[in-house]
């Protein structure tokens, strides 16, 4: 009888853990999907739609975290951390694109390691925005975005802890460094081209001015 009761107790606890997983996994997927769509909306300047999607992501994320409150093995299994990272990325990307102060982990309601992963990914979204700005001829704004990207990178490089704690941040930081260097190169070329174009325009005006006289 004691073994029967033990078996029953074990099944009951595993049933509860499995039920938490069954709630958390689809919630994390919904959050990730909403965040990806929110970032796309941000790049299209569809900010109202982006906010709606981020609200959806937040609700899904809260659902998953609530479901796993008593099940730390599920809470820290990885997929909720991935959802938190995507949510932090969306929030940080909005700040970069709209030239706003960067939200902190507490502002986003996410853990520190997923927040830093989201920050690294937001640097990539910043590069995408810089390229859009260069195509539009807005070099000055592109330079400002690069400064923000470098500010975020300075945070990442100061977090020197084992990957088991930071969820693989070192590799992401290396990728961010490469993206920033490429962006700096693209901006440098754009600045040279702008200055050359301005010099040619001035020369043309001076020549035309002399001809008029």
* pLDDT tens digit sequence for 148-182: 999 999 999 999 999 989 999 999 999 999 999 99
- 33, 121, 40: which is closest to 83 by C-alpha? 33
Q: Is residue 176 domain-shared with residue 206, that is, in the same domain?
A: yes
Which of 49, 69, 102 marks a domain boundary? 102
* pLDDT tens digit sequence for 34-48: 999 999 999 999 999
Q: Is residue 65 domain-shared with residue 147, that is, in the same domain?
A: no
Can you give the CATH number for the domain in which 122 is found? 1.20.58.2140
How many domains does one find in the chain?
2
For 4, counting Cβ atoms within 10 Å of its Cβ (0-12 exposed, 13-18 middle, 19+ buried), the class is exposed
Q: Whole domain around residue 24: which residue ranges?
A: 1-102
The pTM (predicted TM-score) of the whole model is: 0.88
Q: Is residue 16 domain-shared with residue 54, that is, in the same domain?
A: yes
The residue-averaged pLDDT of 61-79 equals 91
Is pLDDT above 60 for 1?
Answer: no
Q: Is residue 87 domain-shared with residue 142, that is, in the same domain?
A: no
* CA-angle at 152, arms to 148 and 154, nearest 5°: 115
Q: Is residue 200 domain-shared with residue 118, that is, in the same domain?
A: yes
Q: Is residue 45 domain-shared with residue 77, that is, in the same domain?
A: yes
Helix (H, G, I), strand (E, B) or coil at 128: helix
């Amino acid at each position: 009888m004691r073994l029967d009761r033990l078996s029953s107790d074990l099944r009951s606890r595993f049933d509860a853990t499995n039920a938490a997983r069954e709630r958390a996994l689809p919630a994390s997927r919904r959050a990730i999907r909403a965040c990806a769509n929110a970032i796309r909306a941000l790049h299209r300047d569809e900010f109202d739609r982006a906010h709606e999607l981020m609200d959806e992501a937040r609700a899904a994320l809260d659902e998953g975290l609530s479901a796993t409150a008593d099940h730390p093995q599920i809470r820290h299994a990885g997929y909720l951390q991935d959802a938190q990272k995507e949510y932090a990325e969306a929030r940080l990307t909005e700040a970069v694109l709209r030239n706003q102060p960067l939200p902190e982990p507490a502002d986003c309601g996410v853990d520190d390691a997923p927040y830093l992963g989201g920050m690294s990914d937001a640097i990539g979204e910043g590069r995408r925005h810089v390229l859009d700005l260069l195509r539009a001829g807005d070099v000055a704004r592109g330079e400002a975005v690069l400064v923000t990207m470098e500010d975020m990178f300075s945070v990442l490089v100061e977090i020197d802890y084992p990957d088991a704690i930071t969820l693989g941040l070192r590799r992401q930081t290396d990728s961010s460094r490469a993206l920033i260097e490429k962006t700096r190169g693209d901006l440098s070329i754009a600045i040279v081209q702008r200055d050359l174009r301005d010099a040619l325009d001035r020369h043309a005006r001076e020549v035309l001015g002399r001809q008029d006289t």
